Every structure is written in structure tokens, then in C-alpha cells.
Chains A and B, each alone.
Chain A
């Protein structure tokens, strides 16, 4: 369907702005996604990009203007997402804030919380991290042990241990899930906090990922104070709010199908480029019949995933099983991206063993790095195994596994 004139004009203007404003690559290695921002230099560079994009008026089409957004406008939101991919612009470093914390605050926050927090979140002036998982509470999230105790003056003190905390080392705020209630079941005893990270008693320690990169952390709370208004929603409502956040995180809430399609095109195009540029025998990988079959299979599967993301909003067509497409999108997309990175490594043969540090590494060593990083997506935000449980129980109506 044709875009309205106003939207087409918006897209043209944005495209022109991006052509003049997407920065050239910095002199240092950039992370592939928000999951692996390691150094101060990387962070500042990426923060400056989000600030510039915000100041130009292109961030926050899902936030009303009174909170610093551009007003709710899904069409423009989708156009920005597509054009950023198309222009190969850097990712937005405050990803957790934009996609998980922000929508949750908008849904459950008080007027004061929304006024205080959303604008600096959109502009990346204040970075957000997420404190859900713990060493003993991963897939079984509701068994978490961090505890927040309310004081006589209404403020809180929190003690506990959070892990896999992406960008905690740059974060000003954390969305924190902690136990507050006694004598009720494990779900009803949780509360959801907007926790300031600079409080005394909060310490951030880096974790090193399997590929040697940093970017995520563990966070220790030792009787750390939080003000009374750190509570989001009601006491004991934490599990429900956390589920809303996880829905946002898994992209179950409306995410543009065209955005998914654009990401798919970029990834598959990169794979095709590897095949065409990687020598094999007298020719290239792209001439090898077995590799061609495997690329064709990924093409079909990726096309199906992109089309399914579009179909998710054709609600009349999905009446028989309305939850299937939203609940499966993260599962199938993350596993597809993992297979794609694996195949690229396979194409590189022995040179897939070369790391970022070796100047001879093909494609700068990005593919083994991408393959290792792909597990962040199949584990984070609900492992593939947990998502299969959810689909089996909520969509197929199979009996619970626990």
C-alpha cells in the first residue's frame, strides 16, 4: 500500500538527514549490539549518536509529547526503524530503556515518574539496565531472592545479587524485581522498582562473555537505599509488570513487520556477500552446490520469518490462533540468526578460527564473534526452551511442565 504523502515526505526528509548525519566509523572497534558495549569510548560515541537523533526529532514516536516524546505515531516509529537499518546507522545504546523500561513506565508509572524519567531516557542522558535474573533464578525467574524492605519513612532498602546485567556499568537506573511480601506465593510477593544505581551499597562488577567481550555485569545490593517513589505500580504487582516488560522484550507487543523484514534483508545480504567473496577451490563458496542449498534454505526461512512478522498484524487472518505469531517471533528469529552466523563461519573454513585481533581475519573476524554473541539472543529474555514451554502451554493448550 502506498504511504500517504505526509509519511512519504517524512521518510524522504529522514533519509536526507541520515545521509548527512550518520557518523563515519570511529577509530576503535564498535560493539555489534547494545549487549556488548564495553569501553567508555564506545559508550560516549553511541550515546552522542542517540542524543543527536533525539535532538533531530526522530526518537520517541511511542511516547506522548508531554513526557519528551514525539507523540504516539506507530507509522513514523516504523519508518524511523526501517530507515535506520537501511542507512546502516549505529544502534541506539539506550536499548533497554527504549524498548523495555520506557513502555513499562508509560503503562504503569505515576504522572511524576513519567515526567521525571522518560525524556532523559529517550535522549540517552540516563541509561537504563534490567535487574531481573539472579544466579539462582534464570528461567525460574519468580524464585528470585533479592529482598526490598520498606522503612518507617516509606523508603526502601534492598539486598541481593543480580546477574547478566547489560550496560549496568553505564546505567543511571535499573528496572529491579525484588521480593517485598511475606506469607504469599512466590509470584504475589514480588514488587517492581525503578532503582537509582548511584545509591551507596550498589556495586557493579563486569562479567566476561564466552568470546572475551564485556558489556554485561553482576550487580550487588548491600542494604542499598531507594526512595519511596522507586516503587512502580503497587506492592506485590511486580510479577505482572515484569511479564509486561518481558512481552516488550520479546517483541510480542507490536513491532513493525517491515522492520523485521529490513533486518532480515541486511543479515541475509551479508551472508550472500560472504559466500560471494570467500574463495573455495578455483571459485567461491557461492559456486558450491552444498553451500548454495544451505543459503537457499536460510533465505526461505528468513523470508518466512519476515512475512510472519508482517502477518502478525493481519488480525482477521489469525483469529484461529492469535497468540502464536507474537509469542514465536523472538524464538524463530534468534534461532535463525544463530544458524546464519554458524553458516557464515562454516563458509570461512579454517579462517573462522581467527579473532578480531588478527588483521588477516576475513570480514574483520565479525562472524565468529556474531556466532558467539547470537547465544545472547537465544538465552536472554526467556530462553528458547522457556519460550517453547510458553507456546506449548498458552497456544497449544498442553499441560504445564512443572
Chain B
């Protein structure tokens, strides 16, 4: 047989995938709440809403405990719970800055000064404030080493110049977390929205809004700077969490599209039978099913690895989960539109919401080509 090259050993999940009765309850209560409060009719109502999410949503999620799970007081996040919630949110496309806020909270909790944490975390857990991390910059830049936004020391303070885009719910966030680079390396700042030039992006996906930020010679004080010694690890952790949440959400997107399309294939009749009896319809739906089950295994394993000691292994599994779920979701929504036929081509059919989410998520925090290159470096080394 072939000579064998050693493969990177990735963290393996425990036999029960760490799934407990408590997880089952979190999932069930989320599902109950979402079934009552998140509907396609609500998505249609919010399409033209200037805010994009109901003001009651965040306080309600706080009451359900979603924010506390995502921003635990002791800092020990149960990533599995959070991933399960993200999938449920993805199934319904519930518009809310929950995911972007808990990512920002994780960053602030790890690298914020005591004063910054005191200022932002309590209202955030109560659902009364939102934050967002501005990861993404123009020209496809998101990697912390490649950021073009600059921070320059100015006397006792700082001067920031740069631009950001695709900042999730940035137009409503109370404050933005800005990763920048200075002569010393990575610098993170927490800045109230009013200090920045914020433009809401006109996006195809009305269920997750985003903003562009600009700042030129923005004067900041040391009080807005996060702990520099923790900045690198904290931003890496936030990036990992953001990718994990995206991946979990995309599994939810695939699930929802599969359910819609499966139901339609059982109802819609042509040639005297439900179209789901035709293998040309049945087999693509099975491919959606198998892809999403495979994605789910990666997402759950990645979530479990995020709490573990092997950070590089967790990063790799998260990158895999994000790659696979983005592929699967894009395939799912394409089949979703196609198999609904002429109806699928209209805005009357709910599939379009999911199509837009899958397309809009795909390029965030690394395209699949970038992720592929990142994974290949782990296998082969080199560039």
C-alpha cells in the first residue's frame, strides 16, 4: 500500500458529544419561543423596518438566558449551547444582534479593562445594549495581521484612521469594537457609535443588517483602548466564535430550506403525482440532508473543541465547520429555489430569505477559498 503522511490530529468529541439533558432543554425552549415569535410574516414586516429587528427581541432573549449563555459571568462559555442556539436562530432567521453582541462580549470580557467591562457587560447581558466587532475591511481583509486601519499614538491618546465594512448590526450598536494596527502591533478600541461615521449598507439580506464605518484622525484616549497584552488572543478567540456561530447558523439555514422544500415536494403535483416521488427531485433533497448532517457533525465537534486545550485544533475544526456548512447551505438554497419551480423564483416563497442569508454569509471572515488555503497549510505546510 501507499506510504502514509502524518495528518494533524484534531480534537475528538466524547462519545455522547457532551450533549446533556440541559442542552436538550435549552434547544426545546428556544424552539418553542422561536415558533411563537419568529415567522415568515414577521420577516416580511421587518423587511421595510428601518431598524430590522423588533425592540422586544433582545430583552426577551435575555430573559430566555441566551445572552447569559453567550456572555457567562465566569468567562467559561459552553460553546455547545451557544452553537445549538445559533442553529435554531438560523432555522428561523430571527433578526437580532444576539450573535454579533456575544462575539463582542467575548472579546471585551477577555481583553477589556475593568472599567470597560463594567461599563458594557451588565447592560449587554440584560439585553439593553448591543456591541459589534468590526472584523472586516475593504479588499477582502479580515486577518488580524493584515488590517489596514491604523492607530497612531498622539500624546497621551490615540488617533485612528481606517474603514470597516459588513459590520453586523453596526448601524444600531451602542458601541463598536475596532481592531487596528499600530507601530507596536494589534490594538483594539471600544468606541461609541456616535463618534464614527456609520452608513447602513443596503444588503440583499434584510434579516441581518450591516454597516460601513469610516474614521479619519479619530481622537481617542487610553480609556477606550483594550488591554494590548490580551488583544491578540482575544481577537483570535472572537474570530473563532464568530465563525462557529456562522457555521451553526448555516446548518439551521439548510435545515429550514430542506423542510420547506420537502413539504412542497409532497404537496405539489405534476403528471398526476407529488413531485417528491420523482428521483430528479428526491435525490437532490437527500444530498441536502446528507450535507447538513455532515456539517452538523463538524459544527458540534468544533464547538466542543472550542472549550478545550488544543486551540490550533479548535481553529482547524471551526474552519472546517465554516467551510462545509457554507458549501452545504449554498447548495441547499439553490436546490430550494430550483425545486420550488416558478414559485421559488418569487418573493412569495419563503426560500428567498434563506437564499440571501446563505449568499451573504459565505464571504464573511474568510471565503471558502481562503479557508481551503488555510486548511491546506495545516496539511502540507508552506503558503
Contacts and interface: CB of A to CB of B under 8 A. Distances in A.
A314 B266 contact: no
A300 interface: yes
Contacts of B295: 304
A400 B379 CA distance: 44
A398 B317 CA distance: 33
Interface stretch (B51-59, B163-171, B279-287): B279-287
B298 to A, nearest CB: 5
Given A266-B4, A296-B379, A401-B277, A392 B285 contact: yes
A272 interface: yes
Given A332-B294, A398-B285, A399-B266, A293 B15 contact: no
Interface string A390-402: 0111011111110
B15 A363 contact: no
A395 B317 CA distance: 28
The listed residue with most A CB atoms (<10 A of its CB), out of B13, B290, B295, B323, is B290
Given A307-B13, A399-B277, A316 B24 contact: yes
A66 interface: no
Contacts of A88: 1
B19 interface: yes
Contacts of B382: 286-287
A275 interface: yes
B380 interface: yes
A313 B297 CA distance: 12
Contacts of B373: 289, 292-293, 296
A385 interface: yes
A295 interface: yes
A365 to B, nearest CB: 12
A355 B295 CA distance: 37
Contacts of A6: none
Contact of B279 (A311, A324, A388): A388
B324 interface: yes
Contact of A273 (B2, B15, B262): B2
Interface in B267-282: 273-274, 276-279, 281-282
B183 interface: no
B294 A308 contact: yes
A269 B282 contact: no
B298 A304 contact: yes
B372 A296 contact: yes
Interface string A174-203: 000000000000000000000000000000
Contacts of A400: 277
Nearest to B24: A316
Interface centre among B1, B317, B324 (most CB of A within 10 A): B1
Contacts of B376: 292-293, 295-296
Contacts of A391: 286, 289-290
A310 B293 contact: no
B375 A299 contact: yes
A268 B2 contact: no
Q: Bin chain B's interface residue count.
A: 35 or more
B286 A396 contact: yes
B274 A399 contact: yes
Interface string B9-30: 0101111110100001000000
B279 A270 contact: no
Interface string B33-68: 000000000000000000000000000000000000
A273 B6 CA distance: 9
A296 to B, nearest CB: 4
Given A304-B324, A391-B286, A385 B279 contact: yes
A398 B262 contact: yes
B17 A311 contact: yes
Nearest to B371: A296
Interface in A362-377: 363, 366
B146 interface: no
Contacts of A268: 7
Contacts of B324: 300-301, 304
Contact of A388 (B286, B296, B375): B286
A331 B19 CA distance: 26
Interface in B348-383: 369, 371-373, 375-376, 379-380, 382
Given A272-B7, A332-B290, A392-B276, A316 B297 contact: no
Contacts of A352: none
B341 interface: no
Given A304-B295, A308-B294, A389 B274 contact: no
A279 to B, nearest CB: 15
B5 A276 contact: yes
Given A296-B379, A314-B17, A389 B282 contact: yes
B294 A304 contact: yes
A305 B294 contact: yes
Given A308-B293, A392-B276, A395-B289, A303 B10 contact: yes
A76 to B, nearest CB: 16
B8 to A, nearest CB: 9
12 contacts: A88-B1, A286-B382, A292-B379, A307-B298, A308-B293, A308-B294, A310-B17, A328-B290, A331-B290, A388-B279, A400-B277, A401-B278
Interface of A: 1, 88, 261, 265-266, 268-270, 272-277, 286-287, 289, 292-293, 295-297, 299-301, 303-305, 307-308, 310-311, 313-314, 316-317, 321, 324-325, 328, 331-332, 363, 366, 385, 388-389, 391-393, 395-401
Interface of B: 1-7, 10, 12-17, 19, 24, 258, 262, 265-266, 273-274, 276-279, 281-283, 285-287, 289-290, 293-298, 300-301, 317, 320, 323-324, 369, 371-373, 375-376, 379-380, 382
Given A311-B297, A366-B1, A398-B274, 11 more contacts: A272-B7, A296-B372, A299-B320, A301-B294, A304-B294, A304-B295, A308-B297, A324-B289, A332-B290, A385-B279, A398-B266
